[in-house]
Amino acid sequence: MINQVIRGHQISFCDEELPFEGRMHNKALHVTCMCRDKIVNRVLVDDGSGLNICPLSTLRQLKFDLGKLHQNQVNVRAFDGVQRDTLGAVNLDIQVGPADFNVEFQVLDINTSYNLLLGRPFIHMAGAVSSTLHQLMKFVWKDKELVIYGEESHSNGYAPVVDDVSRGCDFYTVELVNATSDDLVPQPPMPAVYKMIATVMLQNGFELGFGLGKHFQGIVELIQIPAKGANFGLGYVPTDDEAEMKNKNVDQALARPIPHLYQSFPVRGYVNNDGLGEGICGLF
């Protein structure tokens, strides 16, 4: 006896849903959503990202109060190994098609070509299945299968409100390195060389508040370097008059005559005792 189980709302894709180019394309899946009563285009759907990412520039265009960011200690790593600290987390209400979602985004001050990135947290929460090949995203909402088309494969006729500007490199695949729930401002990690210096000093008996001498003598406070009063230095562009005056001083210094070595280093004087004896004998 064979029992046939029919599953409702089984999401699938077929060749009829391929874009105009068919299989001959290498495009990422970008969709359009609504957020804070604005249309946001270039929303990247990336199942290779472990986080939902909101660039700081997008948050500013959405007129969000940056003071309401939830501070956290989240460090993310891109596909090229570059690690960045997030500025905080923000919960945004977005509308994808007719469905509404409250999504937590990690805010990063990065240069990207997308306005929002929907990673695995959103995809799993929505129960969505995305296909870059078909340029579609499907999920079930209120017992109905919704099909969200990619921007280039299906024009919705809306004009984007958030600017679609290519800002440079893409911060695509993102991995979560560490995260804590403490509401602390992210602190930069201490360089390894500082830890090595502190270890060597403590091993040699250093005590805080004493000098570095053998008997703890020496200065305790850091040496105060006096400020440079003149304007000449790195980053300063002198005027024509100042440059001319400087060249004159250099020329005058080089024009000084260089004395001979016997003038600079005279021979030490000495006394001839033989001649002194003959002179004394002549007196008698």
Question: What are the pLDDT digits (tens) for 29-55?
Answer: 999 999 988 999 999 999 888 889 999
Q: What is the pLDDT of residues 273-283, one digit of tens each?
A: 555 555 545 54
Q: How many C-alpha atoms does 55 have within 13 Å on its Cβ side?
A: 26
Q: What CATH fold (topology level) applies to the domain 15-178?
A: Cathepsin D, subunit A; domain 1 (2.40.70)
Name the most confidently modeled range: 131-140, 154-163, 190-199: 131-140
Sheet holding 144-149, edge to edge: 129-131, 136-141, 144-149
Under DSSP, the state recorded for 5 is: P
**Sequence ranges of the domains in the chain:** 15-178, 190-220
What pLDDT, on the 0 to 100 scale, is given for residue 145? 87
pTM summary value: 0.53
CA distance 10 to 256: 95
